[in-house]
Amino acid sequence: MAIYKWIDDVGSPKLAIRYVERIEAYCLGMSHASERGRRRDDVRPGMRAVGFERRATIAFKVEDDRVTILRIFHGGRNWEAEFA
């Protein structure tokens, strides 16, 4: 995961693992509150995006029986352009 590598490079493996674990827990919790975030049909039909700890953006899609995580972007990346 690129986020792990970036945090490991500027911080430490321990910090990177903790951060990735928090992101994973947050994503797993989306099954209980999948309508969180903001619809971003302008970027991709049916897509939603939510901020995570003011440092990451999680792009996902809600389907009838599941939530699909499309991408997780860290920092100030222009994530909308990556879907174009």
Q: What is the CATH number of the domain that holds 26?
A: 3.30.2310.20
**What are all long-range contacts of 74-78, with beta carbons under 8 Å and residues at least 24 apart?**
74/2, 74/3, 74/6, 75/6
- Check whether 2 has a pLDDT greater than 90: no
Q: Please give the pLDDT value at position 73.
A: 87
Q: Please give the pLDDT value at position 64.
A: 82
Question: What is the DSSP annotation of 21-36?
Answer: HHHHHHHHGGGTSTT-
pLDDT digits (tens, 9 = 90+) for 20-57: 899 999 999 887 766 788 999 999 999 999 999 988 89
Q: Please give the pLDDT value at position 70.
A: 93
The token duo for 56 is 């990451």
Range of the domain at 23: 2-82
**Number of structural domains the chain divides into:** 1
